[in-house]
Structure 1
Amino acid sequence: MQRRALLVAASLAPMAVHAGPVLQVGPRRAVRTLAAAARQARDGMVVEVDAGEYVGDAATWPQQGLTLRAVGGRVSLVAAGAHAQGKGLFVMTGRRQRIEGFDFIGATVPDRNGAGIRLEAGSLTLVDCGFRDNENGLLTANDDSIELDIVDCDFGAIAARGGQTHNVYVGAIKRLAVMGSYFHHGQLGHLLKSRAAVNHILYNRLSDEIGGRASYELEFPNGGVAVVMGNLIMQSSTTENPHVISFGVEGAKWEKQALYLVNNTLVDQKPSGGIWLRVTPPQAEVVLANNLLVGAPKLAAEGHWTRRANFSADWDEFVRAARDDYRLKPESSLRGRAADAGEGGGLKLSPTREYRHPHTSVALSGPARHPGAFQS
C-alpha cells in the first residue's frame, strides 16, 4: 500500500475529473455567492464559479466528491475580514474534494491563525491555486486519515501581522504530496512545514526571496517518510533561522523515519552561518544524492548516511544564477555526473520532471543525467 501511494503521488498531475451534476455560481447566476453554493451543493457535484472577485465570501464545504472549478479565468476570494468558523476563507471537511483556479487573499481571524484554506478532515487536491497576504496559506488538522495533494500552486507572500505564520502547515496527517509549486516570501514561520507520515515534495521552488523572513524553508518536525526530489530550495540573506531543511527535531512520531534528499539545487544566500540540513532521530535512514550546494555551508553528514554525487557549485556554474536560473551551463564540468540513487520508500529516486517557473513542472525528455534540480 505504501509503494502504491508513493507512485501515485509521484505521478500526480492536473487531470480531468468525472463530470457530476453542475452548480453554476456567479453574480449573474441564480446562485450568486460561494457561501450560498456551499449550502446548496450536494455530494458529487461540480461547482463552476464564474471568474471574478468575490469579497467577504467565506464558506465551509462538507460534501464528498466535490469539485470547485473556476470558469473563464481566475476566481479571487478576498477576505475583507470575513472567515468561516474563525478559521479561514474555506474550511474543507469532505473526502475527494478538488479546487481548481482559485486565489485566496487576505485571510485573518481574531486569534491571528487564519488561513486561505483549513483542511479539517477528508482529502483534498489543489490545482493551480494561489495564496497571498494570508496569516497562513493553508493549514490542516491533526488527523491521520487526511490526504492532501498540491499541484502547480503559489504560496506567498505571508501577511506581516506577527506570530509564527506559515505558507503551508500540514498537521499529523496520512499523506502529503506537493508538485510544481512555488513557496516564497515567508514571515517568521516556515515556507513548508509538514508532520505527515508520508511526504512527497517533488519539483517545486521554495525560495524566501528578497525581503522574506522565513524560518526553515522545509521542515518535517516529526520525521516520517520524506522524498524531497527535484526542488530548487533557497535561503534568503534575511532568514530567521540558519537551517534550510530540518527533519525530526520535535521527536519521531511515526514508526518509519527516512529522508531521501535527491537531485535538489540548494542555495544559501546568507553571508555566513547557514546550515543545509538538520536531522535529529538517530535511527533515521538518510540518503543524500545528486544535490548541488550553492553558497557557504558545508554539508555535514552522519557516518551512516548514504551520500552519492553531491557537489558544491560556484555561482558561475549556472546559466544566470543572479536571475535564479540554476540550469547548469553547457560547458559545466558537473553535467553528466549524477549517480544512480536507487530506490527509497518504494520510489525510484530519479527525477522524471523538473520545475518550471512561476509554478508548474514539465516532463523530462530523457533520463536525468545531471546533479541538481534542472536537466534541460
Structure 2
Amino acid sequence: MPARHHPLPALRLALCWTLAFAALPSGAQGLPPEPSYKGELVGDGKGGVIVRPFSAPEVRRENAPAQDDAPAGRSPRPERQAAPERRLPPPQAMPEPQRDPVAGPLTLEVGPSKKIPTIAQAAKIARSGDTIVVEAGVYAGDVAVFTQDKLTIRGGGGRVRLNANGASAEGKAIWIVRGGDITVENFEFVGARASAHNGAGIRFEKGRLVLRNCLFRDNENGILTAGDKAAELEVENTEFDRNGTVEGYGHQLYAGEIASLKVTGSYFHRAVGGHLLKSRAAKNVIMHNRLTDEAGGEASYELEFPNGGQAYVVGNLVGQSATTQNPVIVAIGLEGYRWPKNELYLVNNTLVDGRPAEGYFLRAAPGLQVLKAMNNLLVASRSHDFAPFSADAKGAMRDPGKTVRLPDPGVRQGDAGLKAEIRNNFVVSRDDFADAARFDYRLRERSALAGKFQPPGTANGVDLTPRADYAHPAQTRRLGGEPTLPGALQSIAR
C-alpha cells in the first residue's frame, strides 16, 4: 500500500519561504523571484496543496447600483453598519499674525477683502502700538472691546459705518474702550441698544480716548463713560444726532466722574431726550462747538455740569429748540458740587433761547466758587433771561463785605462764596444775524457790536480768548488774527 503524502511538510515549507521574503529588505540581492501565487496555502484533501486566492477588496464605482438595487435573483449583501458621524472641530480663532520679536508695531488691515474680515477679530489680535485700518463700508453687528495700552483705529478710504443691529459688546455698547491711549477716527456708530436702556455707541471705561471725525446717531447714549477719575476723553469734529432716550436717562454725550473732557469743533443736535452734553468731569474744555437742539429736538439741558468742576465754555453756539424739555440752557452744580474746584468760565458764546415760554440762559447752584461771563450774545426777548449776566440787575448786589450776590434764576438764592465777573454781555435779536432761521449766527456787516470784544485773559493756565470759529458741519476754522467781536463767531456776514 503506497505511503500517504501528508500536506503539512509542504505547507510549512511554503510558510517559511513567505516569512523569509517578508524579513528581507526590498530590492536585496540574491532573492528568489516573488511567488506567482497570491493567496493562502491549504490542503486539497488528496495529499496536495492548493492556493486559495485572497478576496479582492470591494470597489464601489460612482455609478454602481446601491445594495438595494441588486440584480433580480441575487440576494443583496448584508447592510454594513454605518460608520459613526465624524464631527469637525469648531473653527479656531484667527491666529495672531507672526511678529518679529524686535520688529515695530503692525498695521492691521480689516475688511471683507482682507485677511482680517471683522473689527472684533482685529480687537483680539492687535497689540499695543498697532494701527487698525478698516476698509470703508457698513459693518453690521461688529461689536468689539479694546484694551490695548496704545492703539489707533482708523477708517480707511472714507467713513466706516457700524450698525449695531441688536448686538452689543458685554451688553453695553457697540465698542467698549478700557485701554491706555486709544485714538479712533472716521467711524459712524448707529443704533446701539441695551437691556438697561443705556446702550452706547462707545462705552469708555478707562484710559485716554481721542475721537476725531466720527458720527453717533440713533443710540441710547452717543458716548457714555464710566466714573474712572483718571480717565480722559477728547472729542474733535464729531457729530451727535438723535441720541438719548425719551425717559431722559440717555444723552448725546454723557461723561461720568472722569479727570477731563475736551470737546472741540463738534455738532450736537436733535436729541431724543436727555442732554446734548452732560459732564461730571473735574475739568471740562468745551470750545468752538454747535449745540443746537433744532426742530423736533427734545433735549433737556443743552449743556450741564451737574457736579461742578472747572468748566471752560468758549466760542460755542448753544440753542434751545421750541420743544425742549427744560427752560435752562446752561447749568452747573444742580446735583451737588463734588470737586475741590468749581468754576465756570462762559466766554464768547452765542446763547439762543428758542422756547415760546420763558427760559434761562444760566442756572448756577449755590456753591460755585468762580463765575466769569464775558463777551456773550444773548438771543431772546425777555429780560428775565438776563439777570445772571448783569452786575446791576435786580437781585444782584455788592455789600460792604464784598460779597457778590448773584441770583439763581430758579430758586433766587444768594451765594456769599461766589467770585463773579460778569461784563460785556449783549442782548440781541435774531435780526442782528445773517440768517438766524438757518442757524447762521454771524453778525451782519456794519454791526454796532463790531470792535466790542474785550480780552478775557486766562484762567488756571487756560487761554479764554477764542482762537477759532466753529465751521459747519463739525469743523473749526482757525482765526487769522485777534478776535474783535463778542459771540461765538468772529466772521462777519457780507
- TM-score, normalised via structure 1 length: 0.93
Q: 2:464 matched to which residue of 1?
A: 349
Question: Which residue number in structure 2 is paired with residue 84 of structure 1?
Answer: 169
Counterpart code for 1:299? F
Aligned position for 2:218:
133
Quote the sequence identity (%). 48
Q: Distance in 2 between matches of 1:163 and 1:261?
A: 25
How far off its partner does 1:156 sit? Answer: 1.1
2:249 paired with 1:164: yes
Alpha-carbon shift at residue 294 of structure 1 (Å): 0.5
How far residue 20 of structure 1 moved from its aligned partner, in angstroms, is 3.8
Residue 316 of structure 1 aligns to a residue in which SS?
A: helix
Aligned equivalents of 1:140 and 1:102: distance in 2? 18
- Aligned residue among 297, 300, 304 for 2:387: 300
- Looking at structure 2, the residues matched to 309 and 162 of structure 1 have their Cα atoms a distance apart, in angstroms, of 38
Q: Look up the SS of the partner of 1:238 in the other structure.
A: coil
For 1:36, the equivalent position in structure 2 comes to 121
One-letter identity of the residue aligned with 1:325: D
**Any gaps of 5 or more consecutive residues in structure 1?**
1-18
Task: Point out the more displaced range, 81-90 or 312-321.
Answer: 312-321
Q: Does 1:264 align with 2:379?
A: no
1:70 corresponding residue in structure 2: 155
What does 1:173-322 align with in structure 2 at a 5 Å threshold?
173-297=258-382, 298-301=385-388, 303=397, 304=404, 305-322=420-437
| Alignment correspondent of 2:416 | none
How far does the alpha carbon of each residue in 1:71-112 deviate from its partner, in whole angstroms, 9 at most, with x for none? 011100000000001110000001110000000000001111
Matched residue of 1:38: which SS? helix
Cα displacement string for residues 217-275 of structure 1 (whole angstroms, at most 9, x for unaligned residues): 00000100000000000001100000000001111100001100000000111122111
Which ranges in structure 2 are unaligned for 5 or more consecutive residues?
Answer: 1-103, 389-395, 398-403, 405-419
* Residue equivalent to 1:49: 134
Q: Work out which of the two has the higher radius of gyration on C-alpha atoms and give 1 or 2.
A: 2
Tell whether the 8 Å contact from 2:319 to 2:353 is kept in structure 1 after alignment.
Answer: yes
Task: Specify whether residues 294 and 78 from structure 1 end up closer, same or farther in structure 2 by C-alpha distance, changes over 3 A only.
Answer: same
Q: Select 1:120's aligned residue among 191, 198, 205.
A: 205
CA distance in 2, matches of 1:300, 1:217: 19
Distance in 2, matches of 1:146 and 1:362, equals: 28
Q: Distance in 2 between matches of 1:36 and 1:24?
A: 11
> CA separation of 1:283/1:155 partners in 2, compared to 1, >3 Å: closer, same or farther?
closer
State whether structure 2 residue 409 is matched by structure 1 residue 330: no
Compared CA separation, residues 296 and 345, structure 1 to 2 (3 A): farther
Matched, 1:106 2:221: no
Kindly indicate whether the alpha-carbon contact (under 8 Å) linking 2:244 and 2:252 is maintained by their aligned counterparts in 1: no
Counterpart CA distance in 2 for 1:159 and 1:77 is 18
- Asked if the contact 1:164–1:187 (Cα under 8 Å) also holds between the matched residues in 2, the reply is no
Query: Which SS does the other structure have where 1:227 is aligned?
Result: strand
**Mapped partners of 1:279, 1:289: distance in 2:** 16
Change (3 A) 1:318 1:161: closer
Matched, 1:369 2:369: no
Deviations 1:315-342 (A, max 9, x none): 1111111111000011210111111212
CA distance in 1, matches of 2:483, 2:259: 30
Counterpart of 1:37 in 2: which secondary structure? Answer: helix
Q: Secondary structure at the match of 2:150?
A: coil
1:149 has 2:234 as partner: yes
Shift of 1:282: 3.1
Instruction: Report the alpha carbon displacement of residue 300 of structure 1 after superposing the two structures with TM.
Output: 2.2
Structure 1 residue 27 and structure 2 residue 112: aligned? yes
Matched residue SS, 2:437:
helix
Q: How far did residue 163 of structure 1 move?
A: 4.6
Q: Is the 8 A contact 2:337 2:367 kept in 1?
A: no
1:151 partner letter: E
Amino acid at match of 2:202: I
Alpha-carbon displacement from aligned partner over 1:168-211 (angstroms, at most 9, x marks no partner):
00000001100000011112200000000000000000010100
SS at match of 1:35: helix
Contact 1:277-1:300 at 8 Å conserved across structures: no
Q: Larger deviation: 253-262 or 281-290?
A: 281-290
Are residues 283 and 238 of structure 1, via their aligned partners in 2, closer, same or farther at CA, if it must alter by over 3 Å? closer
Provide the C-alpha distance between the structure 1 equivalents of 2:323 and 2:221, rounded to a whole number of angstroms: 20
Which digits, 9 at most, give the CA deviation of each residue in 1:117-147, with x for residues without a partner?
0001111000000000101100000011000
> Any idea what the Cα deviations from partners look like across 1:47-76, whole Å, max 9, x if unmatched?
000000000000000011100000011100
Aligned residues: 358
1:95 aligns with 2:180: yes
Q: Which amino acid aligns with 1:89?
A: I
Instruction: For 1:249 and 1:40, locate their aligned partners in 2 and report how far apart those are by CA, in whole Å.
Output: 44
More displaced 10-residue stretch of structure 1: 216-225 or 282-291: 282-291
Give the Cα separation in 2 of the matches to 1:272 and 1:344. Answer: 35
Equivalent residue letter for 2:301: Y
Q: Is the 8 A contact 2:245 2:273 kept in 1?
A: no
